[in-house]
Chain A
Amino acid sequence: MTIGESPARVGSVEKALGRARFGSDQGEPGDLFLVCVRADQAPATIEALELDRALAVPGVVRIFTAADIPGEKLLGIIPVTKDQEFLAENIISHRGQAVALVAAETEGAARKAAQAVELRLSALKGVFDHREALAENAPQVHAGRPNGNLMARRVIRKGDFESALNTCAVVHEAEYTTSFIEHAAMETEGGRAWIEDDRLIIKACTQNPHYDRGDTARFLGLDPDRVRMIQAETGGGFGGKLDVSVQPYLGLAALLLKRPVRMVYTREESFIGTGKRHPFLMKCVTGADSDGRLVAMKMDLSADTGAFASYALAVASRAAVHATGPYYVANVEIDCRLAYTNNPWAGAMRGFGVPQAAMAHEGQIDGIADKLGMDRLEIRLLNALRPGQETATGQVLTQSVGIVECLERLKPVYRTWLSEVGPDSASGRGVGVGAMFYGIGNTGVSNPSTARLEWTPDGRIILFTGAADIGQGSDTVLRQIVGARLNVDPERIDLVRADTDFTTDAGATSASRQTYISGGAVLEAAVALEEMIFSEFEDLMEADRGDLEMAAGRVWVKGSPNGAISVEEIVQSLAQRDIRAVGEGRFDPATVALDPETGQGVPYATYAFAAQTAMVEVDKLTGEVQVKRVAAAHDVGRAINPKCVEGQICGGVMMGVGMALMEEYVPGRHANFENYHIPTIADMPEIDPVIIVEAPEESGPFGAKGVGEPALIPTAPTIASAVGQAVGRPMRHLPISLERVMDAVTGVNDEN
């Protein structure tokens, strides 16, 4: 049994030795190098794009523009909102949008030529604020859209908010804001493309190889069968490598030049040329009874999706669906609107709008607790979802609801820290608590994963999965699932991963879905393979199938291990009849689409839950905040690999520290890590204890759910709660910068 053990991560030895080849390491001598020409002004009309001077630069092979695109010009991750021009044709929608692609013999020549391209623009009136974008007469980011700048909207209505609010003993009203955030995966986007047997092959870093193939093929006007996408080692993603980046450019150049090409984004390009986390404005009214039970909640959420849709529909839905937090609230009115602006586009980033919404629901519950003089953890416990209760979308949760246990197990730590800090805020220390729930998989839509497992006559076990491991550990976890089901050492299992010629679609590495959904598909494949092996054993040995056992590559009738034969023999017996020992699996969690008017439905088959507590120290004289300690309790259903789970949680906590205290991407101001800061090891709190709660999910592989995004979601609100306690004022705006702390300390901009 390998479930619950922590074998070393697949690939970590190669990575430790420096031998792993990432997308940005791809390339062979003689490859052409590609560089985008990007507009430095937006919105604007392209008046002229002169290439002659650039083409004259020695070493330049060709410069592509929108006119060279053989297929569809508009790309995008969600089929119904494809709106992104990878090479702008007439209009520059955001600063940094590409208008041309240079292919040259060397990087130096490509960059010289990119600089020599003459781009004449004439400025258009733009809009850079999502509230202004939704105002009447706002400049339109994309002309001719029936909904103007309103890109996505999700409404949720349950119960009767207005009348319920009148019954409330206490009402809390407040506004929250968050900022654009850059994923800052350590590897920038990169890859290589070439032509082989008249087919296009692209090897690049990605979270989503099967989607990449489809959209790249559309862009190039090719049948998808003529495109092979191979995931290179991927140096982190966090949502930033879900949309295509270098893939269409690589494909275009390789296809039209019939030469191998490579491309690597500089960090600056990665900042300006890939998606961001959506900044949100959240206006909330929450009512509770005199015991602190939440009765009514209204939230008006709006966010900036920038120039393109990307994952806006998903973010709008996710933020709305999770806006009430992991609490039972009978009367809900949520309206979430995402607007186009001329800012760089926002897309998926770890949590799809839920980390933003968590700032609001956690701030609101703190506000109610403070008004009633209640303990902040107790009020969460009182309101936490329990089996039998329904969420804001009317989904009745029946099992695997671990939020109460998360809070209960966190309680002793929280109490101890509170008593260490003391009740008044003179010490500058504060303790906060925060909680979250998060639906695993895509929202209210089918999002299957598939897998294939083969036992070869020469004794190899090969798992074919389209799931991209981007560092989170799906390779390791999926192997453990197969190993556990077939009773073999996971080390024995070879992996063929994320290569569209050999793997079937597993969906994106996003939405914390690979352990649950691809794990489910892999488990199905293992069951099917086992069935085939058992059936052949039955034929060979005339045994009763129900009584068979398999372990360590041998099969026997229960109770008669002496009569065991090896799986290899069984597989060879199949092979003699030209039958391959292959098991295929598919898992698609059961969901019910959200009603467009009321938002009622079953968006996810299962949810992860978590609660965290943090102790901070605030220097009230300078505004500096140090997060001293964080404790985290996460219901993951079942930890297939506890060390991987802990790694995800600690990584999420630190990303949350960044979101809470320092990360804010301001278009035009931040272009690299010189001034866009993510946390260093010196910013790390003591993260202890990390409590893994296991409320097993019936539909999950061995009970597992997911943890990738949940790890991050409660952290920023928890830290905000702690800083608020330390300074004696709620902190509702992220990041909690030096300036915002000083404002709170000196009483500037006091909302109370």
Chain B
Amino acid sequence: MNLVFEINGSRRSLGNVPCHATLLSVLRDRLGLLGTKEGCGVGECGACTVLLDGEPVNACLTAAWKAAGRNVITIEGLATEGLHPVQEAFVDSGAIQCGFCTPGMIMSTYALLKRSACPDVEDIKSALAGNLCRCTGYKQILDAVRAAAAKMDRTHDDEVSGG
């Protein structure tokens, strides 16, 4: 049986996906989507955060088959062209240092702003507490989330693959 799911707006069908495979391994090893990172493998760092039917999950803890018939968005699927406003805000705010946590951080931010247009500091902290960053001290990330909230407009949003 093939694993069929929608990834960044395209339907994909994959054979030979073992029952115990993680979504992370399918994304990275089978689909070559290397933007989703493995930082710990045990759901503690959030570097592998992707959206499953719009909700952020750790791809390293998600059985690949849970994606069957569902919709997955990774960092590669956020912008149809150029940068998504969240990505733009991260670049402009200096929220990216080494950049390894960035894809996960951006996916969590995107999910937050989809459900809450103007989150307060506590909302942001709660939404991003599962995304570790060792470089920035989070301050410029917090700035970026606020800037993204301010600039996110629905028009662009609707263009997001599968969003």
Contacts and interface: CB of A to CB of B under 8 A. Distances in A.
Interface of A: 6, 8-9, 11-22, 24-25, 183-188, 233-236, 238, 266-267, 470-473, 643-644, 646-647, 649-655, 672-674, 678, 680-682, 684, 687
Given A16-B83, A25-B34, A673-B45, A682 B125 contact: yes
Contact of B136 (A19, A187, A650): A650
Given A9-B94, A17-B35, A652 B100 contact: no
A678 B134 contact: yes
A684 B87 contact: no
9 contacts: A16-B83, A18-B102, A184-B132, A188-B39, A236-B100, A236-B134, A647-B94, A651-B97, A678-B134
A437 B138 CA distance: 25
A651 B40 contact: no
B68 interface: no
Interface in B116-163: 124-126, 128-142
A16 B96 contact: yes
Contact of A12 (B74, B90, B124): B90
A739 to B, nearest CB: 22
Contacts of B34: 18, 21, 25
B36 interface: yes
A16 B90 contact: yes
Interface string B60-87: 0000000000000011100100010001
Contacts of A24: 37-38
A471 B99 contact: yes
Contact of B37 (A11, A22, A653, A673): A22
Contacts of B135: 186, 236, 471-472, 647, 651
A651 B99 contact: no
Nearest to A264: B38
B17 interface: no
B42 A687 contact: no
A680 B46 CA distance: 11
Contacts of B100: 22, 185-187, 235-236, 471
Given A673-B44, A682-B126, 14 more contacts: A8-B91, A12-B99, A19-B35, A236-B98, A267-B39, A267-B40, A472-B135, A651-B97, A673-B42, A678-B132, A680-B129, A681-B141, A682-B125, A687-B137
A542 to B, nearest CB: 47
B51 interface: no
A15 B99 contact: yes
Contacts of A188: 39
Interface of B: 33-42, 44-45, 47, 74-76, 79, 83, 87-88, 90-92, 94, 96-103, 106, 124-126, 128-142
Nearest to A657: B137
Contact of B83 (A17, A185, A266, A652): A17
Nearest to A712: B137
Contacts of A652: 137
Nearest to A186: B100
Given A16-B83, A18-B75, A687-B139, A651 B44 contact: no
Contacts of A472: 97, 135
Contact of A235 (B75, B98, B129, B139): B98
Nearest to B32: A29
A644 B90 CA distance: 13
Contacts of A21: 34
A337 to B, nearest CB: 30
A643 B94 contact: yes
Contacts of A13: 83, 87, 91
A650 B144 CA distance: 14
Contacts of A18: 33-36, 74-76, 102-103
B39 A186 contact: yes
B51 to A, nearest CB: 13
A17 B79 contact: yes
A751 to B, nearest CB: 32
A233 B99 contact: yes
Nearest to B102: A15
Contact of B99 (A11, A674, A678, A682): A11
A545 to B, nearest CB: 40
A473 B130 CA distance: 25
A18 B91 CA distance: 12
Given A471-B135, A646-B140, A650-B138, A20 B99 contact: yes
Contacts of B92: 8
A34 to B, nearest CB: 16
A647 B40 contact: no
Nearest to A8: B91
A650 B140 contact: yes
B96 A186 contact: no
A187 B37 contact: yes
B107 to A, nearest CB: 9
Contact of B44 (A12, A473, A674): A674
A111 to B, nearest CB: 13
Contacts of B125: 681-682, 684
Contacts of A644: 94
B97 A647 contact: yes
A17 B141 contact: no
A687 B143 CA distance: 12
B47 A646 contact: no
Nearest to A650: B137
B134 A186 contact: yes
Given A187-B39, A187-B98, A646-B140, A16 B87 contact: yes
